[in-house]
Amino acid sequence: MILGVDIGGTNIDIVVFDGDFRHVATYKTKATLANLNEILNDLIEQFNVKAVGIGLAAWIKKGKIVKMPNIGGKFDINLNVPFVLDNDANCFAYYSAKLFGFKNAIGITIGTGIGSGIVMDGRLVRGEGLAGEIGHWFVGGDEVCTCGGRGHLEAYFGGWSIRKRFGRDAKELFEDGSIYGIEGFRLMCIAVANAVTLLDPEAVIFGGRIGGNLDVQILKTEIYRYLMEGFEPEIKTLKDPLAVAKGACLLAEELATTCKDY
C-alpha cells in the first residue's frame, strides 16, 4: 500500500494506492500543514503503508525544500516509512504522461500558481532539482510575484494573480469566456510555445483547477501561433484534481520496489 500526498497552495489531497487509487482525505493547507506529519503517520499505520510520495508546491533542489512561495512557512517531513518528495508539477507530469502513454511530454499545472514538469524517455527531468519552473519565467513587465521576483508568468496567469488583477476568481472568467482574452493567457501560450521549441515533446498536458478546464482547441490554436513549422505536440487537458497525489504514489512505488534514491 502506497500513500500519495498533494500539498498545494490551497488544499492537501491524500490518496492510497494498491493497484487502484482511492481518495482518503482533503484538508486546507494553511490550517493543516503544522500537523501534517501526525496525520500522515496515523494514515500510514491505518493502511499499513510501505512508502509515501509527496508532491509539494515548492522549489526542491537536491532533495531540500528551497522555497514555498504559495504556501509560506516551513515544513519538515518526519514519517515512519520511506518517502519521496518532489515538486507537485513533476508528479502531475509523471502521472499524466503515463496515463496518456507519452514518453516525452510537458505537464503544466495552473491553479493557485503555475508549475511544470518534464518527462523525457519516460523519466522525469529534474536537472539539479529546479528544472521546469515555467511559472517563474520572466515574461516582461513589473508585476510582483509571490516568490519576490518581478515579471514572472505566474504574476499574470496564476489563480492568485487573476484574483488580484481582476477582482474575480478564474472560475468567473471561464463562465463568460473572458479568460482567453486577458494578457496572462497570451503570455502563458507564448511561454508554452518556447518550452515546446526547447524540448520538442510529443504532448503538452494541462492540469490544475485552471489549466485542466482550458479549452483544448483554443489552447492549441494560440500555442501553435507561436510555433515554427515542424513542432506538432498534442495538446491535452486532464481534469483530475487528484493527479498530483497519484503521480506521487507512482514515484513512491518506484522507491519502494527499486530502492532508488530520488
Residues 195 and 65 in one domain: no
Helix residue ranges, H only, the chain:
29-32, 36-47, 88-100, 154-157, 159-166, 170-175, 183-199, 208-211, 216-224, 243-258
Question: Would you state the pLDDT for residue 261?
Answer: 46
Nearest alpha carbon to residue 140 among 128, 126, 157: 157
Give the domain extent around 131.
91-237
Give backbone dihedrals phi and psi of 7, rounded to 5 degrees, phi first. Answer: -100, 100
pLDDT mean over 4-9: 92
Give the domain CATH number at 250.
Answer: 3.30.420.40
Same domain, residue pair 232 and 128 = yes
Q: Are 69 and 172 in a shared domain?
A: no
Q: What is the pLDDT of residue 44?
A: 97
Looking at the fold, whether 20 and 36 belong to one and the same domain comes out as: yes
**Both 20 and 37 in a single domain?**
yes
What is the rounded average pLDDT of the residues 120-144?
A: 94
Closest C-alpha among 182, 61, 81 to residue 133? 61
| Interval 141-173: pLDDT, tens | 999 999 999 999 999 999 999 999 999 999 999
Q: For residues 144 and 74, state if they share a domain.
A: no
Band of pLDDT at residue 71, cut at 50, 70 and 90: confident
- Residue 23: what are its φ and ψ, rounded to 5°? -75, 130
Task: Report d(CA 253, CA 3) in Å as an integer.
Answer: 9
How far apart are alpha carbons 33 and 72 in whole angstroms? 10
Query: Is residue 186 pLDDT above 50, yes or no?
Result: yes
CA angle 147–153–156, rounded 5-degree value: 95
Residues 112 and 65 both lie in one domain: no
Position 37 pLDDT exceeds 60: yes
Same domain for 98 and 36: no
Same domain, 31 and 160: no
CA distance 139 to 256: 40
Report how many domains make up the chain.
2
In angstroms, the CA 262 to CA 146 distance is 27
Do residues 140 and 205 both lie within one domain? yes
Would you state the pLDDT for residue 192? 98
pTM above 0.85, yes or no: yes
Mean pLDDT to the nearest integer, 66-74: 81
pLDDT-derived band of residue 256, with 50, 70 and 90 as boundaries?
low
pLDDT over threshold 50, residue 262: no
Average of per-residue pLDDT values in the chain = 93
pLDDT value of residue 10: 85
19 plus 133 within the same structural domain: no
* Beta carbons of 105 and 203 less than 8 angstroms apart: yes
